[in-house]
Structure 1
Amino acid sequence: MNELLAWARAQGYRVKMLTLTARHGRDDDLAELLERMKDAKQRWARHRAYRRIKPHMIGSVTATEVTGGGAHGWHPHFHVIVILDGDVDLSSLRDAWLASLRGAGLDGTGAGWDIRSGDEAGRYVAKWGAAEELALKDRKKGRAGRTPAQLLAASCDEGDRRAGYLWAEYARVFHGRRQLVWSRGLKALAGVGEVDDQEAAQDQQQDGQIETGRANIPHAVWRGDVATRGADRRAELLDRAEEVGPDQAAAEVVEQGLPDRDVLEDPDPPPYQPPPGGIGLR
């Protein structure tokens, strides 16, 4: 992914990241919800608004992620990295996504759509790497579920039976499913080849970089004020550390936190209705 984004920048292309999800509840079955979201994404790609923008798309990569165990059940979502031939306005794709959800028997509000500008997404990717950006799963404070790895850890280390059941459901649904999908021809166009696990691990070591400073930030502060889905401020924190040093930047975060990002959401959405055929009905 980092090789792809470096190529895109060298070609003068613009990069944007979309996050797509749907409203969901505790009674929703993960397999059913995921299949309906996949159907919605296919409908979205056929929508006239999408077809108008498609000629400007060089390619895209979609990551499928899920968290579970929160107040609103399973939370599957797509992160879509889009490479464009210019500064294209993608705002029309929001209504197209919400309409596609309805066509697939799901529901959505403004919170089901998030877009990062090319500059913003590029800053995160440049400082943290594409894998970290795609894997950022935390959502709103107090409502976030746990990642599959966290569910497995809770089952093994804490004897959490519910987490174990959720992990088993996740493993059954995602077994054999590709979680990172490239658009056709993009790898060849960018000259990106397949790498094995050993090569990928070596790349992640970021050889040649020099550590200039280090500071500790409490986990609760990091997840509550810095690296959340609603208020992602990792790049800003590093910028501040470069200005005043890591210790001072960390102290400022602990003392006063960082401002939340605005999250687009309907002011008074209707009550959530789970799709028919879910686990609640059964």
Structure 2
Amino acid sequence: MGLLDRMAIATLPLVPTPVMRRLSARYIAGEHLTEAVTRLGELARNGYPGVLDLLGEGVDSEAEARQVAADYVAGAAALRAAGLAAYISIKPTHLGLLLSEELALELYTQVAEAIEPHGQFMRVEMEDHPTTDATLRVFARLCERFDHVGIVLQARLFRSLDDIAALPEKAVNVRIVKGIYLEPEKIAHTDADAIRDAYVECTRRLLDRGAFAALATHDDALAERCLREIQERSLDTSRYEFQVLLGVREPLWEHWKSAGHPVRVYVPYGPDWRAYSQRRLRKNPQIFWHVTRDIFGMPTSKKFEPVDDAQLAD
């Protein structure tokens, strides 16, 4: 991490709330569910289905985790009421994984049961590597009961190819991301090209085992490599989609959509927007520079590809 990055991180707590809101506004729907549903409705009218994410992670109590589960049930109900083809995506530590794996399983199950009669989908997100094993165990147990549940895997991690092989033997829905967590080099790829190669190999493995591949990226060259894998297998749009972050590289969305590829937009919201933004900026200060350049109309460095795991929460 360079000197400028360290200086930017050090000043984050001093950034006035209105300025931080400006930094965040394009990329976060707002503080309230109604704002997120409104934004998802706007996207749907333009041909983009969505993903609803309530900001937050690492709750401190069981009561907080239970409230998060209730908020997601309410969010799913709001999506139904608005007639939106959007689904919910939940971080395991937001449902108390760090407190108890059984608690997280119970609350994921509670949400899955609530949305199942309505044909809605839920994704179990992936966080940093210390939570990976527990997250995959929770997902496997959910798959024993439900078909409307998906998972996220991070191409950056060496283990991901083995994790693909170990997925439940059913038609799973997997969001593949590069991974925003800057993991230790002993367990993860750190070179950009190596991460891209791993992403393509993960995509190959997922397609060959019959999974639905949610390709979460804003890297157009990488996307073209993945599309070649799809075309070589003569797969149609029922087997894949692109997933993108709200506010990031919107012309690329339109390019993909115009070419006939499905594109889904990840829409985060919630009162935890500032704490969340600061945590994410500390984990990867390049996001700060990208957003700053974007706000002031400056070109983005070609060496930096903005936040390309389609979930600011990862």
TM-score (norm 1): 0.28
TM-score (norm 2): 0.26
Higher Rg of the two aligned structures: 1
